[in-house]
Amino acid sequence: MKPIEAKNVNVFYGENHVLKDISLTIKENTVTAFIGPSGCGKSTFLRTLNRMNDYIESFRKKGKVYINGKEIYDKDVRVEDLRRKVGMVFQKPNPFPKTIYENVAYGLKIHGMKDKAEIDARVEKSLKQAVLWSEVKDKLDKPALSLSGGQQQRLCIARTLAVKPTIILMDEPASALDPLSTAKIEELIHELKEKYTIVIVTHNMQQAARVSDRTAFFYLGELVEYDKTSVIFTHPSNKQTENYITGRFG
Amino acid sequence: MAAIEPELQVLKENLQDMLAMVKSQMENCIRAIAKRDTSIARQVLDEEKKINIQELAIDRDCENILALFTPVATDLRLVIASLRIANDLERIADSAKSLAKVLSEDPGKRHYKWMDDLKIPDMLEVLVSMLRDMGSALRDEDTKPALKAVKKDDTLNDYYKKAMKTTADLIIKNPDDSKSILSLFLMIRNLERSGDLTKNIAEEIVFQIEARVLKHQKLKKK
């Protein structure tokens, strides 16, 4: 069973046809990068994978999106359960205005976990997985917003990991960070790949090349090319892909 | 225009210039033999330094492009191919230098006769023709002339094989000059090797333009 399988997905915002017949399968424990110029549909497609577009009134979808074999737009799917399994990390770190501890524990509590020792253990484990534990273990009661941008982003990743997702979607997770914090996030993505399936949207070509196993190039709402990252960045088969990755358009 | 474009253009021009310089070295060796003119041979020796400088310039261009522009796909292949081609060209130029060294020391009538017997001018002509094909391939970004040149390498290999027998015959006939004849044979070995290097350049051009790897095909089939 494939973690992510999209079949002939079309997305409309009102009259605007923003995703055109996208079919794509993503394997387990891989990192897949979505690249393409602004407005190409890569973020829209990413958000389709955990129904983040549901909030947009004019949003309309055709085609099928399967997560772990289940069509996620079926009526019997609870969006809260879906988003627990398919976590999301956004472009700008968005910790809650609470303590570091509360940020990670929040998701666990709303999903009904009550045992303090169990929550403590999960918070510690998640912060360790996000490679943040050693930096925050002595100030868990401090406000999350007192952390640096890079630390805040890793905290958001820890918050996502706490509720045990199988898939993590990342929408330009390092675009607001300095090079050192970016390197830490990339290192983290590499480590998380062992246990999770990761999809990342990025405008940074080198980042896509460094962190991903496969790359999908989107242009004007179409999936132009989807292949191993090593192929896309050495000899892509489509001229548009080549022009984009070599900086000749977009 | 992508920021990398002017840098790549300079790299391409430097590579074409280096190729033209190496071809010119070979052509001057042909003229030096035909005219029995040691001054032309000395000119070849002088020009050698410029070729080495050109190789260093290409190395520097490539290093800068890699460090500052992180090229990918076709751009990356151009940089990789340019590094290898410049290295091959420098070694081809070394062959011209070795030959020019012999020619610059006024080797005498019999030497020129032996050079004709060993088909050295003919080999040089084939090499010049192969290098000319490389120039067209690089300029027009067209693999056809490059692939045409690959076939010409067989002609050089044939000359080399025949020269082995001719060398043996000449040594038997001129035992006192065996050292000089053997040194001429070494020149032929260099020219045959230059053919191989030119073939490598053709393969690099195909790699750059079509992302197709031609070298070591036999190994790949195993």
Closest-CA residue of B relative to A230 is B73
Dist. CA B75–CA B20, nearest whole Å: 22
pLDDT tens-digit profile of B12-36? 999 999 999 999 999 999 999 999 9
- Report whether B119 contacts B163 (CB < 8 A): yes
pLDDT tens-digit profile of A20-73? 999 999 999 999 999 999 999 999 999 999 999 998 999 999 999 999 999 999
Nearest to A45 by CA among A65, A75, A30, A31: A65
| Residue A233 near chain B (CB below 8 Å) | yes
> B-chain residues within 8 Å CB-CB of A236?
73
CA distances from A127 to A130, A185, A197, B47 (A): 5, 13, 19, 65
| Residue B70 near chain A (CB below 8 Å) | yes
Torsion of CA B187, B190, B195, B200, to 10 degrees: -170
Cβ distance A246 to B74 less than 8 Å, yes or no, reads yes
Give me the residue label for tokens 């929040």: A106
What residues contact residue A38 under an 8 Å CB cut-off, 6+ apart?
A203
Which residue among B70, B71, B73 places its CB closest to the CB of A235?
B73
- Using a cut of 0.90, tell me whether the model's pTM lies above it: no
Write b or e for each residue in A42-69: b if 16 or more Cβ atoms lie within 10 A of its Cβ, otherwise e. Answer: bbbbbbbbbbbbeeeeebbbebebbbbe
CA distances from A138 to A119, A142, B27, B136 (A): 17, 9, 77, 68
Q: What three-state secondary structure class fits A243? A: helix
| Residue B211 near chain A (CB below 8 Å) | yes
| Residue B75 near chain A (CB below 8 Å) | yes
| Residue A248 near chain B (CB below 8 Å) | yes
Cβ distance A233 to B71 less than 8 Å, yes or no, reads no
Q: What three-state secondary structure class fits B61? A: helix
Distance from CA of A246 to the nearest CA of B (A): 6
- Report whether A26 contacts A4 (CB < 8 A): yes
Dist. CA A56–CA A39, nearest whole Å: 16
Percent of chain A surpassing pLDDT 90: 93
Nearest to A202 by CA among A56, A47, A38, A2: A38
Which residue among B72, B77, B211 places its CB closest to the CB of A245?
B72
pLDDT of residue A108: 93
pLDDT of residue A1: 78
The ipTM assigned to this model is 0.76
Distance from CA of A149 to the nearest CA of B (A): 27
Q: Where are the beta strands (DSSP E) in A153-234?
A: 167-171, 197-201, 214-219, 222-228
| Residue B80 near chain A (CB below 8 Å) | no
pLDDT of residue B107: 74
Q: What three-state secondary structure class fits A185? A: helix
Cβ distance A246 to B2 less than 8 Å, yes or no, reads yes
Distance from CA of B148 to the nearest CA of A (A): 24
Nearest to A68 by CA among A165, A164, A3: A3
Give me the residue label for tokens 């190395």: B59
Residue from B8, B65, B66, B74 to probe the interface with A (highest A Cβ count within 10 Å): B74
| Secondary structure of B144-201 in HEC code, one letter for each residue | HHHHHHHHHHHHHHHHHHHHHHHHHHHHHHCHHHHHHHHHHHHHHHHHHHHHHHHHHH
Dist. CA B116–CA B112, nearest whole Å: 6
Dist. CA B40–CA B33, nearest whole Å: 9
pLDDT of residue B216: 75
Average the pLDDT over each of A149-163, A218-232, B107-121, B130-144 and give the range with the smallest value: B107-121
Which residue among B72, B75, B211 places its CB closest to the CB of A209?
B72
What residues contact residue B146 under an 8 Å CB cut-off, 6+ apart?
B133, B134, B137, B201, B202, B203, B205, B206
- Report whether B146 contacts B207 (CB < 8 A): no
Phi/psi of residue A139, nearest 5 degrees: -140, 45
Distance from CA of A35 to the nearest CA of B (A): 15
In chain B (222 residues long), the average pLDDT of successive 10-residue segments reads 89 97 98 94 96 96 94 96 98 96 86 94 97 96 94 95 96 94 94 97 95 75 56
> A-chain residues within 8 Å CB-CB of B211?
234-235
| Residue A62 near chain B (CB below 8 Å) | no
Query: Averaged over A218-231, what is the pLDDT?
Result: 97
Cβ distance B73 to A206 less than 8 Å, yes or no, reads no
